[in-house]
Amino acid sequence: MQIIKDTSFGGERPLFGLHDTRLENVTITEGESGIKCCRNLEADHCRFIGKYPWWHVDKSLITHCYFEVGSRSAIWYSRDMVMRDCIIDGPKFFREMDSLKLERVKITDADETFWKVNNLTVKDVELHDGTYPFMFCTHVDVDGLVSDSKYVFQYVRDAVIRNARITTKDAFWETENVTIYDSELHGEYLGWHSKNLRLVRCHITGEQPLCYVDGLVLEDCTFGPDCDRMFEDSTLEADIKGSVTNIKNPRSGHITVDRVGSVTLDEYLLAPGDCVITERMK
């Protein structure tokens, strides 16, 4: 593997077609598509300034690098990438990719980041600001995530999420086969219109969580007092610790909870309308 170090490249496509190369302390300056249609690359302590600097790259390792605000839409259409210990200030990263692993990465503008990524592994990552990260991702494994971005994990399929602290709105909509362990989920309208959503030892806050869900499973979860109108038109099996404020029109299943403030069953309850609610501490 050749080594290129302590230099900079600018303009359009300066490293087009590069392969079997390690970049050390290299700056990709103003311009477009600095690294494109490449394979088997490593980048360490590099700086990316211009637009679209890393497209159509197969098999790469990126460590201790910095992507400036201007490096928007930086990494698309690439496969077999590992990124560690990096800071990203640009939006719209990581699209149309397969086999992407991130560890100890901080993204300060997560707007439209992680779109249509298959086989995504995330460990100890921070996401800030922006909307719709993780849209349409499949086969996702998350362990350690802090995020205040809005509308996270929409249309995600086949995901396992552990040890996350997510502050958001309208998260996990239209998902399928998603399991969340030991996490805090803060925001309105969690998990609407999803299928096979399972939450284990999670704490949930925000209005109207977990409505219109087919195959919802809750194990040892807790809810904040602001969680009202829960479970409308959902089929579920739920074991909840502590009290809940209000349950509204669950379609079917079983709910076991320490205490319920109120249950609403009105003319909008859909058939079969036979959910059994059991209070441990009546």
* Residue 132 φ/ψ, nearest 5 degrees: 60, 40
User: What topology does CATH give the domain 1-90?
Assistant: Pectate Lyase C-like (2.160.20)
pLDDT value, residue 216: 98
135 SS3 class: coil
- Report the DSSP beta bridge partners of residue 279: 257
Domain boundaries, the chain: 1-90
pLDDT value, residue 282: 64
In DSSP notation, 140-188 reads: EEEEEEEE--BS-STT-EEEEEEEEEEE-SSTTTT-EEEEEES-EEESS
Cβ atoms of 128 and 108 within 8 Å: the answer is yes
pLDDT value, residue 281: 75
Mean pLDDT, the chain cut into blocks of 10 residues (282 residues total)? 94 94 96 93 97 96 96 94 97 97 97 97 97 97 97 98 95 97 96 98 97 97 96 97 96 96 92 92 70
How many CB atoms are located within 10 Å of the residue 153 CB? 31
Distance CA 174, CA 191 (A): 7
pLDDT value, residue 138: 98
- Report the DSSP beta bridge partners of residue 11: 31
Q: Which residues of 159-191 are buried (b: 16+ CB within 10 A; e: fewer)?
A: bebbbbebbbbbbbbbbbbbebbebebbbbbbb
pLDDT value, residue 67: 97
First to last CA, the chain: 70
| Closest among 123, 158, 165, 127 to 140, alpha carbons compared | 158
From residue 113, alpha-carbon distances to 66, 77, 130, 181 in Å are: 16, 13, 8, 23
Cβ atoms of 58 and 77 within 8 Å: the answer is no
pLDDT value, residue 203: 98
